Structure formats: C-alpha cells, structure tokens
Amino acid sequence: MKALILVGGFGTRLRPLTLSVPKPLVDFANKPMILHQIEALKAVGVTEVVLAINYQPEVMLNFLKEFEKKLEIKITCSQETEPLGTAGPLALARDKLIDDSGEPFFVLNSDVISEYPLKQMIEFHRGHGGEASIMVTKVDEPSKYGVVVMEETMGKVEKFVEKPKNFVGNKINAGIYLLNPSVLDRIELKPTSIEKEVFPEIAVENKLFAMVLPGFWMDIGQPKDYITGLRLYLDFLQKNSSSKLATGSNIIGNVLVHESAKIGDGCLIGPDVAIGPGCVIEPGVRLSRCTVMRGVRIKKHACISSSIIGWHSTIGRWARVENMTILGEDVHVADEVYSNGAVVLPHKEIKSSIVNPEIVM
Amino acid sequence: MEKVVAVIMVGGPTKGTRFRPLSFNTPKPLFPLAGQPMIQHPISACKRIPNLAQIFLIGFYEEREFALYVSSISNELKVPVRYLKEDKQHGSAGGLYYFRDMIMEENPSHIILLNCDVCCSFPLPDLLEAHKRYGGMGTMLVIKVSAESAHQFGELIADPNTKELLHYTEKPETFVSDLINCGVYVFTPDIFTAIQGVLTHREDRANIRQVSSFEAFQSATRTLPVDFVRLDQDILSPLAGKKQLYTYETMDFWEQIKTPGMSLKCSSLYLALFKITSPQLLASGNGITSATIAGDVYIHPSAKVHPTAKIGPNVSISANVRVGAGVRLISCIVLDDVEIKENAVVLNSIIGWKSSLGRWARVQGNGDYNAKLGITILGEAVTVEDEVVVINSIVLPNKVLNVSVQEEIIL
C-alpha cells in the first residue's frame, strides 16, 4: 500500500524552529514530526511513502535515507516547482501512487498529530464501498475551519462549508484521507484545492464518506498548538503505552524523557514535558508544559513553563522562562534572566530580562 | 618598486545577527550598496593606490560564499583578490598575523588594513602619503564625530602638530575625545613584529601563571586564548604616545554598516559619492522615453522601469527588477528579481530578492536609520498583496502579507 504526505512549504508559523530545520523534521515528543506519521503508516502495511515537498529537498533527502534503513519502508520525494495547492501534488506524484494492485492510498497532512487509527479507516473504506474516505474531528470552534456536513449513520458527506458564519456542524477535515486511485483522474496537474474542488465533486456523486476520528487531533503547525498537542499526545501515551513515560518522585503527570538525558536531584518535572536526547537538567530545576529539544542544558534552580527550548540552547541558573517563550537553535539565556513570551531567533544570547512578549532577531 | 598589499576584514556569519533578515541569504559583505556589493567600495578604493599588488579578504564565512565574487572582481579590476578563511577567532590583529606569510609573499613595503563594514570615501592614496611623511609603524584614518556618539567607537587623542597618536581607548564609558578611529589603517611590515610581541608576552604570562594559581584568578586576560590579539586594546592603546602610530583626519562622511537600516543610509552616501566620482553609473531619465529620475539613483542595466514611474532620490535598483506603471520609489534599495506592480509606493525601505509588491501596495518606513523598525525590511520572496500597507516593520522571508501591518516583526 502507498501513502502521500503533504509536506508543503516553508513552515513560517513554526519559526524560529523552522529557521534551523524544515518543518517535518522539527521534533515533537522527541521524534521528528513526520516520523510519527511514517511509523503509523508502516504499522498498517504501507510499503512506500511519497513526501510532497517544495522546500529544502536536500535536507529532507538526507534524513530519509537514514529512516528508510531503520524502518524498512521506501520513502521518496515529489518536489513541486510551483505551489500546487492541496490536490495538485497528488497529480504530480501520480506515477508513484498508482500500481497494478488498484489499492487505495493514504494522504496525510504533515502538520497533524493524532492517534492515526488507520486500520479502522481501511475497514471503514471497504465497508462503504465509495471512492474516498476522510477523517473528520470534532472541534469546539468550527467556524475557524472548513466544516464537513455529513449524514450521521453511514458518514456520507453532503458538503463542505468554509468558515461558516452560522452553525452547520462541528466536524472539520482532519487532514487524513484514504483514496481510490480513480480520484487521481479527477485532479489536473495545476494548483488545485482538494477541499474546494475535488471532494465536493466526489460528494455530489455520493461517493465521499467521513469517519469521525477517535481520540485526539491537533494541527501543531504553530507554537501554541504544538504545546497543547504535546499534552494530548502524552495523555494518549499514558493510556496506551505508559511504560514510555517517566516515573519517579520528581515526576508529576505525563513526562517523556529520552534515555540519554540526565536529570539532577531536587528537580520537579511535569506535567506535559518532553526532554530530548543528550539534555542535561541540573539540580533544582522546575519544568512544566514544555519541550526541551536535543542537547539543551538547563542550569540549576531554573524554572520553565509553557515554552519550547530549541536544540543546543542553554538556560542560566535561576532563569525563569514562561508564557510561550520559543527559543530557536543555540540560544543562551543568561543567569537570573526572566523571559515572558520572548521569541528568539537562532544563535542569540539573552543577557537581560524580557518582560513583555517580543521577537528577538 | 615598492609594492602595497591590502587586507580587508570581512567578519563572519554567527557574529552577524544584527544584519538579519537580510543576512539569511547573503553574507553581509556582499550585500549591495548603491548597486555594488558592500565590499566592492573599499576594494575599488584600494585599486586607486599605485603599485597595489594584491587584495586579501579575511573572514569566517565558508570559502564557497566568496568564490564567485573574488574570481569575478579579480578579472574585472585586474588585480588578484583572494579570500582567506580563518579557522578560529584570532582577534582583529591576530587574524592579520595568522596569514602574515601570504600577506608578505610579494614583500610589500606597506599594508593597508580595512574593515568591510565601514562606509567612507576611503582616501587611501592620501593616507599612504601622510604615513610616509610621518615615518611611523602605522597611520590610522580618524574623524570627528558628535560628542554624544563618540562612546560607541574607539576614541583617541592626537598631537595637533605632529599628528601622532597620543592616547587611544576603545568604547570608553566617560568622554575622552570626539576624534574616533575609522577602522582604516596603513602599516609597515613592523606591525607583525608588534603583534608577535603581544603574543610572546601573553605566552610568558601564561607560563608564569602556571606557577602561581593565585595570580591566575587576578589576571584580566585569563579568559582570552593565548593567540587572540585585538588591534585596539592590544596594539593601538599600548603603542600610543611612543612615536609609532599617527593619525590622518578625513573631512568626508563616515558610518558603520551594522544594521539593515544603516545600509540604506550608506547606500545613499555612496550614491552621492558616485555623483562626484563616477556620474556615468547613475541613472537619468526624462519621464517620456524613460522613467522620471529625481536625485541620485542607480538602476541596473537589466532592470525594467516603466516610463510613468518616478524614481528617487536615493534609490538603488538591482538586476532583473520590474517596476510597473505609475510606481513611486523614494529612498529605498530594491534587490534582484523584485516585481513592483502598478501605482505602488515604496519609501525608506529595503525590498528583498524575488519579492513582489501588488498594485497600490505601500511599503514605508519612518526613515530613522538607527531605530529597530525605522526602515521597513522585506526579506527574500515576500509578497505584499494589492493595496496592502506595510509600515515600520520587518518581514522574514517567504511570507505573504494580505492585511496591512504596522510596527511589527513578522516571522
């Protein structure tokens, strides 16, 4: 079985992290974002994944070689030379997605994190016998998104309504599709929107069905949602593979610690924290609701909450970092400094406190 | 025949965060001012020195970032220009010393030392003449600045008659003098002996310190590596008043190009200089067959500007730019491959490579070169849609602005 992951563009919403690596390679819960998806696909028997990209192919290709070997799955790139929207990339990758088997193929949006119940989706797709299946997820504020209006029993999709002013439903497109090869015949090689042009066409023919996504869903393409997403993901881990989470008297709630990270005495870590490879957390540190990327050193008595600390950064002694502070790669916060929501670009030193949210270039 | 060699210090990438977002694409020394890469201005000035044998660029950028440029400028000016990459930080004088064998290859009698991020008229032949008259080891270009701003630089005292350097302090906290160091020097090869002296002294102190650990805590230079030599603190300050160093004062303009905002100011200064030295480089237009030109304007030959546009003063347009009908450009730098559609207005801004400004778009800064957001900067490939206004903002590469913004940094 095959799959296409829509990786798309520059990841500007996740800057400054994406100034150092392309978005799919930004770590989430100690694993590159795209690896979560590739692993889920492999688990249901996908043998080839095509990444639809338009940016930094060299960096992606290097990463892929490493993971192709480890996961024993074929990974290729399909590179857009001009932006093709959300459907065009499928046409571009056509030859890679169709084979003689006639099997349907998955399409995933790379910004999405969820439980990936792909096996259930395959069964759902076989059950209704239609041309395309999409996952939808229930949200509190549907008007921010595109709402999928569907009939409840079979999940047959009636229509899509973009950012509806009045309530028409609370299910939105979760960015996970399972499509028959015939869908490719509906897509021309030009900038095309799958939600606005392709799916409505299939819906009219009563061949598009939606399955409500069980479990959590988050678009982690921006820092605030990334932090919320980590909470949901760790919660999921706790219910399904709690052995992966850290335990101990200095751990509160769900905490993920890489085996090569070191945590000193007198620390209090959690809830909802991920600590990456090679990190050093010195004694007396408090961490909550934050991600600490590879190679970071947090010095004694520091306190960090609701923030993301980028690769190889350091946080000084008694520093306090909170309220959506996002540090890029190689950022060094001096001792005793306070950061309230600073967004700091790579290779910087923060020597004095930042009391109001500010971008430091 | 007495040969002269020039050395230009170009710095390196990790130190250059102040030049963001423009430095994301291009090393600062290659950023264009008045249509020419920043480093070309001192290089062209060096060419005016008689018997110039070689030009060396010393920095931390990867060699490949300068490879194309040095090869093309060597061909164009018919003088060998070489880029030398420092393997680690040696300090402003240490770097010069590290490459002394190459610099002394052709046995030059004099060495011109320049900093790339200095914007001035580079009166090098006059500086060299003055140096020969004084007969010292080195002569530095100096300029008077306002008393309030002097503390940002190296302040110095010179003898009003002999012009000898009597006293030198780098970035003092209290006022010393309004005469400052321009970062342009001429030295005889004795400079290497002087640097060697500093290195030996450092080594000796390091050896002594190994004997007394108490002294190790006291030493202010303990944190500096043994082979790190700074020109200002380690050479100029100690040798002041010893009849070795002299000064030559320039009455022309002088600025340091530290931020993108300052690069716009310096581009204007160089355009004004071209008006005097190379007027054929500047654009002219009658508003009928070609665009109306006001003041000093540079337009690359491959750029296409609609005749109904009005350009200037202080505008610099790079290669393959397309300027549509009715556009007004004032005080700005427009980089390669930009497209500006009809009736757009740009004022006090820098428009990054491959960006696109929609019809009736307005991109504007308040013109305060020193303020963080005084000059609007659009990074590479930014799209400003029709009728959108961008004021006093900095926009990182690849963004699409479809609503107006003011006083913002957009990542």
Q: CB distance A16–B21 less than 8 Å?
A: no
The secondary structure of B225-288 as a DSSP string is: -TT---IIIIIIHHHTTTTSEEEEE--S-EEE--SHHHHHHHHHHHHHHHHHH-GGGS---BSS
Residue A221 gets which letter from DSSP?
A: S
The end-to-end CA distance of chain B, in Å, is 56
Residues 6 or more apart whose CB falls under 8 angstroms from that of A153 comprise none
Tens of pLDDT along chain B (411 residues) come to 789 999 999 988 866 688 899 988 889 999 999 999 999 999 999 999 999 999 999 999 999 999 999 999 999 999 999 999 998 888 889 999 999 999 999 999 999 999 999 999 999 999 999 999 999 999 999 999 988 888 888 899 999 999 999 999 988 888 888 999 999 999 999 999 999 998 888 878 777 655 555 554 555 445 667 778 999 989 999 999 999 999 999 999 999 998 999 999 999 999 999 999 999 999 988 778 889 999 999 999 999 999 999 999 999 999 999 999 999 999 999 999 999 999 999 999 999 999 999 999 999 999 999 899 999 999 999 999 999 999 999 999 999 999 999 999 999
Q: Number of Cβ pairs closer than 8 Å across A and B?
A: 24
Buried b (16+ CB within 10 A) or exposed e, B61-76: beeebbeebbeebbee
Residues 6 or more apart whose CB falls under 8 angstroms from that of B63 comprise B83, B85
Q: How far is CA A247 from CA A238, A242, A254, A268, B134, in A?
A: 11, 10, 9, 12, 76
The Cα–Cα gap between A252 and A230 comes to 15
The Cα–Cα gap between A212 and A216 comes to 11
Which residue of chain A has the CA closest to B408?
Answer: A359
Question: Do A273 and A256 meet the contact criterion of CB atoms below 8 Å apart?
Answer: yes
pLDDT for the residue B287: 78
In B, which residues are within 8 Å of A343 by CB distance?
411
Tens of pLDDT along chain A (361 residues) come to 999 999 877 889 999 999 999 998 999 999 999 999 999 999 999 999 999 988 777 888 888 888 888 888 999 889 888 888 889 999 999 999 888 888 999 999 998 999 999 999 999 999 999 999 999 999 888 887 788 999 988 899 998 888 888 888 899 999 999 999 999 999 999 999 998 899 999 999 999 999 999 889 998 888 999 999 999 999 999 999 889 999 999 999 999 999 999 999 999 999 999 999 999 999 999 999 999 999 999 999 999 999 999 999 999 999 999 999 999 999 999 999 999 999 999 999 999 999 999 999 9
The Cα–Cα gap between A274 and A290 comes to 7
Smallest CA–CA distance, residue B4 to chain A, in Å, is 38
Secondary structure in 3-state letters for B374-394: CCEEECCCCEECCCCEEECCE
Partnered with residue A208 across adjacent β-strands are A132
CA Rg, chain A, in Å?
Answer: 21
Question: Do A221 and A146 meet the contact criterion of CB atoms below 8 Å apart?
Answer: no
Pairing label, strands B362-364, B389-391: parallel
Residue A214 gets which letter from DSSP?
A: P
Task: Supply B152's token pair.
Answer: 């940002």
The secondary structure of A141-169 as a DSSP string is: -GGGSEEEEE-TTT-BEEEEEES-SS---
The Cα–Cα gap between A339 and B259 comes to 25
Question: Do A268 and A283 meet the contact criterion of CB atoms below 8 Å apart?
Answer: no
Give the orientation angle of helix A118-128 with respect to helix A33-43, to 10 degrees. 50
pLDDT for the residue B16: 63
Q: Among partner residues A10, A347, A361, which is closest to B409 by beta-carbon distance?
A: A361
Question: Do A261 and A281 meet the contact criterion of CB atoms below 8 Å apart?
Answer: yes
The Cα–Cα gap between A196 and A148 comes to 12
Which residue of chain B has the CA closest to A10?
Answer: B398
Indicate which of B24, B377, B394, B396 best probes the interface with A, i.e. most A CBs within 10 Å of its own CB: B396
Q: Which of B227, B285, B257 is nearest to B94 (CA)?
A: B227
How would you classify residue B214: left for phi > 0, otherwise alpha for psi between -120 and 50, otherwise beta?
alpha
Q: CB distance B398–A12 less than 8 Å?
A: yes
The CA-CA-CA angle for residues B3, B154, B162, to 5°, reads 60
pLDDT for the residue B214: 52
Residue A318 gets which letter from DSSP?
A: T
Q: Among partner residues A9, A348, A359, which is closest to B409 by beta-carbon distance?
A: A359
The Cα–Cα gap between A204 and A186 comes to 13
**CB atoms inside a 10 Å sphere around CB B235:** 27
Question: Do A248 and A268 meet the contact criterion of CB atoms below 8 Å apart?
Answer: no
Q: Does A318 touch chain B (CB under 8 A)?
A: no
Task: Supply A207's token pair.
Answer: 């061949």
pLDDT for the residue A196: 87
Q: How far is CA B163 from CA A322, B129, B249, in A?
A: 56, 14, 9
Residues of B contacting chain A (CB within 8 angstroms): 14, 17, 20-21, 24, 394, 396-399, 409, 411
How would you classify residue A169: left for phi > 0, otherwise alpha for psi between -120 and 50, otherwise beta?
left
Residues 6 or more apart whose CB falls under 8 angstroms from that of B385 comprise B358, B361, B400, B401, B402
The Cα–Cα gap between A133 and A117 comes to 13
**Reported pTM:** 0.86
In B, which residues are within 8 Å of A17 by CB distance?
none
- Dihedral sign for Cα atoms in the order B89, B91, B95, B97: negative
Say which amino acid occupies A163: K
In A, which residues are within 8 Å of B19 by CB distance?
none
Q: Among partner residues B20, B24, B399, which is closest to A12 by beta-carbon distance?
A: B399
pLDDT for the residue B249: 96
Q: Which of B170, B180, B99, B189 is nearest to B140 (CA)?
A: B180
pLDDT for the residue A83: 82
The Cα–Cα gap between B39 and B28 comes to 9
The Cα–Cα gap between B411 and B408 comes to 10
The secondary structure of B125-142 as a DSSP string is: HHHHHHHHHHTSSEEEEE
Q: Among partner residues A12, A343, A361, which is closest to B20 by beta-carbon distance?
A: A361
Q: Which of B41, B77, B37 is nearest to B336 (CA)?
A: B37
pLDDT for the residue A107: 96
pLDDT for the residue B148: 83
pLDDT for the residue A221: 87
Say which amino acid occupies A250: N
In A, which residues are within 8 Å of B399 by CB distance?
12
pLDDT for the residue B228: 85
Q: CB distance B409–A16 less than 8 Å?
A: no
Q: Does A357 touch chain B (CB under 8 A)?
A: no
Q: CB distance B411–A343 less than 8 Å?
A: yes
